[in-house]
Amino acid sequence: MKVAIGIDIGTTAARAVGVADSGRVIAAATSAYPLLTPRPQWTEQDPARWWQAAQIVLAEIVTRAGEQRGSVAGIGLTGQMHGSVFLDSAGEVIRPALLWNDQRTAAQCAWITERIGRDQLIKIAGNPALTGFQAPKVIWLRDNEPASYRRVAHVLLPKDYVRYRLSGDLATDASDAAGTLFLDLRARNWSADICDALEVDAGWLPEVCESPDPTGTVQSAVAAELRLPPGVPVAAGGGDNAAAAIGTGIAGEGMASSSVGTSGVVFAHTGSPVIDAAGRVHAFCHAVPAAYALLGVTLSAGGSLRWWRDVTGRDYPALVAAASEVPPGSEGLLFLPYLSGERTPHADPDARGAFFGLTARHTLAHLTRALMEGVLFSLREALDTIRDLGVHPAHLRATGGGSTSELWRQLQADIYGLAVWRLAVDEGAAYGAALLGHVAGGTFRDVNEAMTLVRPLEQADEPEPGARAIYDDLYAVYRCLYPKTAQAMHRLSALAAR
C-alpha cells in the first residue's frame, strides 16, 4: 500500500492526513498554535510554531502508516494563503508572519493601485490590491520597519516556509502565488512589470511550479528524525482553496464548491482566466495545471459562529440545535458577517458586522440562525458575481466544517438555490494536498487520475421551495444594507482607531 501525506498549515492549527492509494484516509492528526493580535486589525503568527506543529502531525501519520505497512510515496503541502514570511540571507525568520486576515495595509494598497493603475493591476494579476494579499505586506514592512526590510532576502507563503524547513527548497505553486499580487496570472509566473513598479526584488520570490510537481525531497536529517525513508518527494502543493478543490474533485466546467471554515469560499473551476474588471471576485490559478478558478471570499464565515460561541458561552451543538428550531428568515432578522472587514464583493477592511431588524421577540436562537444565514447571504453575493461573469455552477460540493452540519448544508441549498453534495471523505485541503503528493510520488499519472478517488455521497441536500422563496426576499433586503450603512461603518472604524 502506498500512502501520501497531506499537510495543511491552517490559521489555527496544522492538519495532516495519510491517504492510501485507494483513497482511504488511514490516519489524521492536528496540532494547534496561537493567533497573535498585537493591535486591532493585526493578525500574525510565529512561523516556528507552524514547523513544530508540522513535525508533530507528520510524525503521527508516519507512525500510523508504518503500523499499517504503508510506504510513504510523497508529501503534499497546502495552507492559508496570502501570508508573508520574511527571511534573511541565513534563512532566519525576521519577524512574525503577517496573515491573510491582517487588515493593516490599506495605505499600501492605495499606493500600489496608484503606482500601477487599478485596471492594469487587475489585467496582469487578475485582482485589485487588497489588504490580505502579500504584496501590500511587503510594502508595509518597507514603510514601517525599514531595519527589518533591509534584512529581507526571501519572502515566502506559509506552506512554503514549512517546505523550506522540510526539504530546504525555496519554491511555491501557481495557485498560492496567484494570491500574492506579484503573479502574472496568464503566464503563471512572477510579473517583472509589477515587481519593477513596486521596486521589489523578484529574486526574493521563490520558484513557481505547478501543484503536482515535485519541488525536492525531504532532507535526510528531517527524514531520519521523522522515520521517513530517504528521498520522499515533496509536491509543490496548493493554496488551501485550490487544494480543497482537488480534495473535492472540482475540476471541470460547471463544477464549484462552497466552503464554510474560518472564512467562507465559493470556488468555481474555469478552463481559462476569467477576470472581473471590477475586481469583485478573485481570479486565481487552479491546482490543476493550466486551469483557473474564480473565488469569492467571506472573511468571517465559521469565524462568525466561533465569535458567537465565545460571546454566548454555548457550544456549537447547542447553538446549532437551537437555530434549527427557528423558521427560515429568523422572523425578519439579518446579520452582516463583517467581523474582520470584508473581501467579496465589498473589498472593505473597515466594514463592520451588525444584527439588523432586532425586536423584543428575537432570542439567542434567532440570532444564531440569522448569523448563519447572513454568512451564506454573503457567499451568495459571491456566487451571484461569479454567475454574472458567465460561469454557472450546476451544483455545489460542500467542504469545510460547515459540510458536517445538516443545518449548514440545508441553508446553503436553500439560499444558493442549488443542490449541495457532501463527500464520502471530507478532509478538504489536506486531502487534496495528499493527492498531489501521490502524483509527485508517481502513484498516479496526473491530478485528474488522482481525483477519481473523490466521490460524493449518493444523496444531495436539495433546496426546499418554501424556504428558498423566503430567502430570495430576505436576500434582496440584505443586499441593500452594506451600501446604505458603509459610511457609518467607516466612521465607527475611524473612531475605534483613535
Q: What is the pLDDT of residue 497?
A: 76
d(CA 147, CA 94): 10
Confidence of residue 65 (pLDDT cuts 50, 70, 90): confident
Q: DSSP string of 402-462?
A: GGG-HHHHHHHHHHHTS-EEPBSS--HHHHHHHHHHHHHTTSSSSHHHHGGG--B-S-PBP
Architecture of the 252-422+464-498 domain: 2-Layer Sandwich (3.30)
Q: What is the pLDDT of residue 101?
A: 86
Architecture of the 2-242 domain: 2-Layer Sandwich (3.30)
Give me the phi and psi of 461, to 5 degrees please: -85, 120
3-state secondary structure of 45: strand
Chain centre to alpha carbon of residue 404? 18
d(CA 31, CA 16): 9
d(CA 122, CA 283): 9
Give me the phi and psi of 435, to 5 degrees please: -60, -40
Q: Which residues are catalytic?
A: 240
Q: Give the domain ranges of the chain.
A: 2-242, 252-422+464-498
Compute how many other C-beta atoms are within 10 angstroms of the C-beta atom of residue 389.
18
**Which of 80-94, 354-368, 378-392, 454-468 has the least mean pLDDT?**
454-468
Q: What is the pLDDT of residue 93?
A: 98
Q: What is the pLDDT of residue 361?
A: 95
Q: What angle do CA 317, 408, 485 make, to 5 degrees?
A: 105
Q: What is the mean pLDDT of the chain?
A: 94
Q: How far is CA 32 from CA 15, 50, 142, 160, 483, in A?
A: 9, 9, 31, 18, 38
Q: What is the pLDDT of residue 498?
A: 78
Q: What is the pLDDT of residue 433?
A: 97
**Which of 145-149, 156-160, 257-261 has the least mean pLDDT?**
257-261
Q: What is the pLDDT of residue 133?
A: 95
Q: Could you tell me the pTM of the whole model?
A: 0.90
Q: How far is CA 401 from CA 18, 240, 303, 367, 481, in A?
A: 19, 14, 11, 20, 28
Provide CB contacts within 8 A for 303, sequence distance 6+: 262, 263, 339, 340
pLDDT at 66 over 90: no
Q: Do domains 2-242 and 252-422+464-498 have the same CATH topology?
A: yes
